[in-house]
């Protein structure tokens, strides 16, 4: 697979700020891949996207697109010469131009007949045939987004950059629109980097995800890898609900904790503290005490449709302040407020507490 986009050591301090908004940011994106930059507000994801697009400069490092160095310490290529398409958060459609005119706007270097065939291709790709003569105000949010996408795809960009593409779509429609967008992007074979703070966007459309915090890319991988094997507690929490238990390395390769004893593949110093992440649906749940189980007291049951969320107290004596989340099938009935939990080795993910950056 060939690398279409590579960002190396991008670093940014905005004028007047005492902190760096982006710190040694590295990313490689393969052809046809959809990569998400994920993180909470202010973590630097838009800054990374804007540097790749050429709307901001980096203090050091370089941006390479399609084997061409677009920016480094000596050179800077303007955004319109980078071969990137951009879909802005607010779509930035021209309000007084029809859908058709919005789409052909960036094609003015092509002869008229080619403009026509490209526009027809992207209209059909984005399911907008029949809407050519409408104005943006005559479209739904999802349709506007597809026009923005059609306009960005029309010049056949090497890389498409999207800033929070689903933030203006109401939540009822989001799932359907995410699926449509993924299908369009995959059908076009486009290489994409998009920014989001919503893990649901990532799980629905991304092939890979880069999780960021305070200007640093902390972990990069497939959504499944990051969900199952987060590098640290922050990522474990960010990527869906989880329970964190503390454990200690008691002998070489063994971690002892409140929720059980686990094997550790990497060698760690004796006495070292380890965090154990267990997703709420990963417990084996018993209604009676068994060896190797931990008793919990159920404080609250919340019906969530596909599952029931239990909020429990753990630790012997039930005095812990820490809530523990358990997801059960709504059909799982149990009398009273006591359950016994067990964690299978394969469902426990052990992390070094040092938040070491991967």
CB of 219 to ligand ATP, least distance (A): 16
* Shortest distance, position 158 Cβ to ligand ATP, whole Å: 23
Q: Is 293 in the site for ligand ATP (CB under 6 A)?
A: no
Which C-beta is closer to ligand ATP: that of 198 or that of 256? 198
Q: State whether residue 153 is helix, strand or coil.
A: helix
Contact status: 223 vs ligand ATP (CB under 6 A) = no
Backbone angles phi, psi at 185, to 5 degrees: -65, -40
Burial classification of residue 162, based on how many CB atoms lie within 10 Å of its CB (0-12 exposed, 13-18 middle, 19 or more buried) = buried
**In the structure encoding, which two tokens stand for residue 143, read together?**
């349709």
Nearest residue (beta carbon) to ligand ATP: 46
The reply to whether 20 sits near ligand ATP by the rule CB under 6 A is no
199 interacts with ligand ATP by CB under 6 A:
no
Q: Does 58 bind ligand ATP (CB under 6 A)?
A: no
44 is an interface residue for ligand ATP by CB under 6 A:
yes
Closer of 21 and 242 to ligand ATP (Cβ): 21
Helices 112-125 and 171-188 cross at an angle (nearest 10°) of 130
Among 25, 27, 29, 46, binds ligand ATP (CB under 6 A): 46
C-alpha atoms less than 13 angstroms from C-alpha of 302 in its C-beta half-sphere? 9
Nearer to ligand ATP, 46 or 232 (CB): 46
Q: For ligand ATP, what does the binding mask look like between residues 66 and 95, x meaning CB under 6 A?
A: ------------------------------
Please tell me the count of residues contacting ligand ATP according to CB under 6 A. 12
CA distance 45 to 243: 27
Q: Burial of 150 by CB count in 10 Å (0-12 exposed, 13-18 middle, 19+ buried)?
A: buried
Closest CA to 70 of 46, 86, 53: 53
The whole-angstrom separation of Cα 352 and Cα 334 is: 36
Between 41 and 108, CB nearer to ligand ATP: 41
Select from 39, 223, 230, 280 the one that contacts ligand ATP (CB under 6 A): 39
When asked if residue 197 is in the footprint of ligand ATP (CB under 6 A), the reply is yes
Phi, psi of 131 (to 5 degrees): -105, 10
- Asked if 8 interacts with ligand ATP (CB under 6 A), we say no
- To ligand ATP, the closest distance from the beta carbon of 287 in angstroms equals 44
- Cα 218 to chain centroid distance, Å, stands at 12
If one asks whether residue 165 binds ligand ATP (CB under 6 A), the answer comes out as no
Binding test (CB under 6 A) with ligand ATP, winner from 43, 84, 160, 210:
43
Name, in order, each residue with C-beta under 8 angstroms of 303's C-beta and a sequence gap of 6 or more: 330
The least CB distance from residue 107 to ligand ATP, in Å, is 30
35 forms part of the interface with ligand ATP (CB under 6 A): no
Q: Residue 28: which residues within 8 A CB-CB, separation 6 or more?
A: 3, 5, 6, 7
Minimum distance from residue 40 beta carbon to ligand ATP (Å): 7
């Amino acid at each position: 697979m060939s690398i279409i986009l590579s960002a190396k050591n991008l670093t940014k301090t905005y004028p007047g700020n005492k902190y760096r908004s982006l710190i040694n940011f590295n990313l490689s994106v393969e052809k046809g891949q959809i990569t998400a930059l994920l993180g909470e507000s202010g973590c630097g994801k838009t800054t990374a996207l804007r540097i790749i697009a050429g709307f901001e400069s980096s203090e050091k490092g370089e941006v390479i697109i399609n084997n061409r160095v677009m920016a480094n310490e000596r050179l800077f290529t303007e955004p319109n010469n980078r071969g990137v398409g951009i879909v802005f958060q607010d779509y930035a459609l021209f309000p007084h131009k029809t859908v058709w005119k919005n789409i052909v706007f960036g094609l003015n270097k092509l002869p008229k007949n080619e403009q026509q065939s490209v526009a027809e291709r992207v209209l059909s790709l984005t399911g907008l045939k029949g809407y050519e003569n409408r104005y943006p105000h005559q479209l739904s949010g999802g349709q506007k987004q597809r026009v923005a996408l059609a306009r960005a795809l029309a010049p056949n960009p090497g890389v498409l950059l999207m800033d929070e593409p689903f933030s203006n779509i109401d939540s009822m429609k989001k799932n359907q629109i995410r699926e449509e967008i993924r299908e369009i992007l995959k059908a076009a074979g486009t290489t994409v980097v998009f920014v989001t703070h919503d893990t649901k966007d990532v799980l629905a459309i991304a092939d890979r995800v880069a999780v960021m915090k305070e200007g640093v890319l902390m972990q990069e991988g497939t959504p499944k890898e990051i969900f199952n094997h987060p590098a640290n507690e922050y990522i474990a929490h960010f990527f869906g609900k989880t329970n964190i238990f503390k454990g200690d390395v008691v002998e070489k390769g063994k971690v002892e904790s409140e929720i059980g004893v686990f094997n550790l593949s990497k060698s760690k110093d004796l006495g070292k503290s380890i965090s154990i992440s267990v997703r709420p649906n990963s417990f084996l749940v018993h209604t009676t005490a068994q060896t190797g189980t931990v008793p919990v007291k159920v404080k609250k049951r919340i019906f969530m449709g596909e599952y029931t969320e239990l909020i429990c107290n753990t630790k012997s004596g039930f005095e812990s302040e820490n809530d523990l989340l358990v997801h059960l099938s709504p059909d799982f009935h149990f009398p009273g407020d006591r359950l016994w939990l067990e964690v299978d080795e394969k469902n426990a993910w052990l992390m070094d507490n040092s938040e070491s950056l991967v």
